[in-house]
């Protein structure tokens, strides 16, 4: 008999390795991985392409009017074993990651309540049949408050900055460690202080501080938690 599936919500600060863990967990459990940040990025891309961003400001009124014309979905590519974010059926995965303008404006886009509402609806629909690992900032607190397992990830900010710095260096980005650290502190502040659905630590979340853990060690820990929850869930049903 198949084990009963659960939902897993992973929230935490930027550059904590949330997506690395979420992808690994989904693979190990045979679950669907959903990167909620990519959905905010896809809407940011739509706003940029349609002239709704000028001088670092978003025309929120027009973007809200345009929301019914924006479809965000995911496609799985067998060949590369990767999931792609699609904006109105176009694969925009690379563009939402590499376009600096997207990274610069996405935080403002994510503060628009109507945008959040639309994405929450899609996220909840994807998770309704269970078997989902979703990462973001408000997944355990708002999107999937009933997720059987909630993980809140954190790590020392200097360690996070160093990891991000090395990643960017590998990509050939010309940036100093101090600039990475400053950017990270700003993003932590924005995420935890915004008015709508700020990043919070759900009371029932397991805390995973990965400052001194390898990706393999953190996966083992999270897998152990997931297996315990799957077992509990079977007993309850």
Binding site for ligand DC (CB under 6 A): 14, 36-37, 40-41, 106-107, 110, 136-139, 191
Residue 41 burial (CB count, 10 A): 26
Counting DSSP H helices and E strands in the chain, the numbers are: 9, 10
In terms of CB distance, is 110 or 218 closer to ligand DC?
110
In terms of CB distance, is 137 or 160 closer to ligand DC?
137
* Surface-to-core class of residue 183, CB atoms within 10 Å of its CB (0-12 exposed, 13-18 middle, 19+ buried): middle
In terms of CB distance, is 182 or 234 closer to ligand DC?
182
Beta bridge partners of 149: 8
Residues 6+ apart with CB under 8 A from 37: 19, 106, 135, 136, 137
CB of 11 to ligand DC, least distance (A): 8
CB of 132 to ligand DC, least distance (A): 13
CB of 191 to ligand DC, least distance (A): 6
| Crossing angle (nearest 10°) for helices 36-49 and 100-109 | 110
In terms of CB distance, is 139 or 222 closer to ligand DC?
139
Q: How far is CA 81 from CA 33, 73, 236, in A?
A: 12, 17, 34
CB of 24 to ligand DC, least distance (A): 17
In terms of CB distance, is 104 or 166 closer to ligand DC?
104
């Amino acid at each position: 008999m198949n084990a009963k599936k659960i939902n897993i919500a992973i929230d935490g600060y930027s550059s904590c390795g949330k997506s690395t863990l979420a992808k690994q967990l989904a693979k190990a459990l045979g679950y669907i991985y959903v990167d909620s940040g990519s959905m905010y990025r896809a809407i940011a891309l739509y706003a940029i392409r349609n002239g709704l961003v000028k001088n670092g400001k978003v025309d929120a009124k027009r973007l809200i009017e345009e929301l019914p014309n924006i479809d965000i979905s995911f496609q799985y590519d067998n060949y590369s074993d990767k999931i792609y974010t699609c904006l109105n059926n176009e694969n925009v995965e690379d563009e939402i990651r590499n376009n600096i303008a997207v990274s610069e404006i996405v935080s403002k886009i994510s503060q628009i309540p109507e945008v959040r509402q639309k994405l929450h609806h899609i996220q909840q629909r994807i998770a309704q049949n269970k078997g989902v690992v979703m990462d973001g900032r408000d997944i355990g607190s708002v999107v999937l408050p009933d997720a059987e397992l909630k993980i809140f990830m954190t790590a020392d900010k200097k360690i996070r900055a160093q990891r991000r710095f090395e990643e960017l260096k590998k990509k050939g980005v010309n940036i100093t460690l101090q600039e990475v650290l400053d950017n990270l502190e700003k993003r932590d502040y924005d995420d935890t202080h915004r008015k709508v659905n700020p990043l919070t630590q759900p009371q029932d979340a397991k805390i995973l501080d990965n400052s001194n853990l390898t990706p393999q060690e953190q996966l083992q820990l999270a897998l152990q938690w997931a297996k315990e929850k799957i077992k509990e869930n079977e007993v309850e049903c």
